[in-house]
Every structure is written in C-alpha cells, then in structure tokens.
Amino acid sequence: MKEKLIEIIKEAGEILKDGYFSKKDVTFKAKKDLVTKYDVAVENFLKESFAKEFSDFNVIAEESDNTNKTFSNSIIVDPIDGTTNFVNKLPHTAISVGVYVNKKPYIGIVYNPILDELYTAVVGEGAYCNGEKIETSDEKDFQKALLSTGFPYSSGTCEDDLNDVIKKIKYILPRCQDIRRLGAASLDLCLVARGVYEGYYEMNLKAWDVSAGLIILQEAGGKVSNLDGNEYVLFENKYIVASNGFIHEELIKNLNI
Ligand code: IPD
Ligand code: CA
Ligand code: CA
Ligand code: CA
C-alpha cells in the first residue's frame, strides 16, 4: 500500500507545485483560515485515486464534508498543510496522508514537493526522509532544546486561546534554546522526527494536520502526547505535545504552568 500511496501523492505534488508558482485567488474560510482552488484540486485528485485503489478505506479530508465518515479504517488527508505559506510562497507546505486501520496508526506520509522532501513511515518499520532513515535528536537539556509551535486560527477571535498562547511562550521562551513557528503542523512533526527540533506543541489542530506526522515521529523514536502527558487521541484532544522523548516531561511541566 505504501508504494502506491507514494506514487499517488507524488502526482498530487505536481498540482501543489503548479499552484505554488501561479497567481492564486484566496477564499477565507475564517479570519485566518485560507483556501485556494489548489487545496480543492489536490484533495479531489487524492480522493478519487484513493477511492479507486483503496476502496475499503474512508477518506476523511480537510476541504470535504466528513459527516457520516467513520474513523475506523480511514485515510486522513490534508491536501495542503500550510496554506498560508503556500499562498505567500514560503516553501514549507506539504501534502499529509495518514492511514489508520481499526483506528490504529498504520502508514504516515508527508510530502513537501517544493523542497522535494518525502517523509514516510509504516508502523514498526522506522521513519524515512527520501529513503534515508531519520531519528529524533538525543538532546536532553531543555535549555538547549529548539522548540516549534503554531498559533491557532482561533487566536484571531478567541481571547482565551490568544492569552494561553502568550502565557505559554512567556514562560517557556527563556527556559529553552528558542521557539520557531513554521506554519505547517505536519512538517513541524517531521522536523522533530528528523532531530531538527527537540519538541513541538500546538492547540486546536485537526486530525488531518497531524495524522501522518505523529506516525512518522513515533517511528523515528519520538513521543507524542496530550497536555497531561497521556496518549494523544485524534479528533479529541485540544493540545498535541511532541518531542524527542528526553525533554517530554519537562515540556509538559512547563506547558502546564
Ligand atoms: C494549519 C497549519 C498551521 C497550524 C494551523 C493549521 P492549514 O493547517 O498546519 O501550521 O498552525 O493550526 O490549521 O490550514 O494550512 O492546512
Ligand atoms: Ca486550512
Ligand atoms: Ca493543516
Ligand atoms: Ca490544509
């Protein structure tokens, strides 16, 4: 299944890439949440291809109506993760595809066609970037940890969420190496998987933002949890916390101030 998925996702990557270098009209789904015709085109291509090749799976995808779709055996798709980057020609944008069997992680694929970086993982078989094995960093000192986060779209309208973002950054920033905000959750998780970041956290993400990246990170030796340090449950938890494992406890502690 992995090889067929890669073939389809690489083809979809050409649609993303064409759009990236073209002039685009932007529609606002919400104050901070953008969509273009390319998000829809990539999604439709993936949905049609997956329906043909993997008819036992439900496809759950960001730009579609997902009511009445069950999660059990599903392919969870973010056609363009990092649409704001895509629109502004910032080359951190990716197609994210996570496959779940009986609600359990099976395959994660994240493809950035602009940088031609393909992250893949099958549960139990390790994680790879362009075919080379990747592993999380072995940094144990929180003060030396480079972290990444994201700002929720709700920060434009919900003062509680905005205050929570600021409060956490104010506490954590002096205690770590630095904090980045790259703008594509799937790639943030892959960058922890690759040992670039030691940790990552964000609130209000959707299943398609993280369904693939969390598989890739866990297969690279990293850890994913909710804000309590317990198992992160797709579609349920407000916060995702991810790390190389070594700094996880301290990251959780610092996020719970
Ligand atoms: C967004 C990106 C971003 C994160 C947002 C996501 P989208 O996805 O992953 O990094 O901060 O919360 O919704 O809308 O570009 O697919
Ligand atoms: Ca979006
Ligand atoms: Ca997304
Ligand atoms: Ca998206």
pLDDT of 63 = 96
What residues does each domain of the chain span?
Answer: 2-134, 142-255
Annotated ligand binding at 80? The verdict is yes
pLDDT single digits (tens) 42-92: 999 999 999 999 999 999 999 999 998 888 999 999 999 999 999 999 999
Task: Give the per-residue pLDDT at 246.
Answer: 98
Centroid of ligand 4 to alpha carbon of 83 (angstroms): 6
Within 6 A (CB) of ligand 1 lie 33, 78, 81-84, 150, 152-153, 183-185, 202, 205, 209
Task: Note the CATH architecture for domain 142-255.
Answer: 3-Layer(aba) Sandwich (3.40)
Q: Which residues are close to ligand 3, an ion, with C-beta < 5 A?
A: 78, 81, 209
For position 22, what pLDDT does the model report?
96
Query: In whole angstroms, what is the distance from residue 190 CA to residue 185 CA?
Result: 9
What's the CA gap between 58 and 72, in Å, rounded? 8
- pLDDT digits over 12-44, tens only? 999 999 999 999 999 999 888 899 999 999 999
Task: Determine the atom of ligand 1 nearest the C-alpha atom of 204.
Answer: 12
Kindly indicate the confidence band of residue 111, based on its pLDDT and cuts at 50, 70 and 90: very high
Binned at pLDDT 50, 70 and 90, residue 100 comes out as: very high
Query: pLDDT digit string (tens) for 143-167?
Result: 999 999 999 888 888 999 999 999 9
Q: Determine whether the annotation assigns residue 179 to a binding site.
A: no
Write down the pLDDT at residue 156: 86
Q: Which of 78, 92, 205 to mutate to test the pocket of ligand 1 (most atoms within 8 A of CB)?
A: 205
**Which residue lies with its CA nearest to atom 12 of ligand 1?**
152
Residue 75 annotated as lining a ligand binding site = no
Contact (CB, 8 A) for 225 and 123 = no
Q: How far is the CA of 33 from the centre of ligand 1 (A)?
A: 8
* C-alpha to C-alpha distance for 257 and 252, rounded to whole angstroms: 9
Determine if residue 78 is labeled as part of a ligand binding site: yes
Is 65 annotated to bind ligand? no
CATH of 2-134, one of 3.40.50.300, 3.30.750.210, 3.30.540.10, 1.20.120.430: 3.30.540.10
Q: Is the ipTM of this complex over 0.85?
A: yes
**Average pLDDT estimate for 112-137:** 98
For 200-247, the pLDDT digits (tens) are 999 999 999 999 999 999 999 999 999 999 999 999 999 999 999 999
Gap from CA of 86 to ligand 1 centroid (Å):
11
The closest-lying atom of ligand 1 relative to the alpha carbon of residue 185 is 9
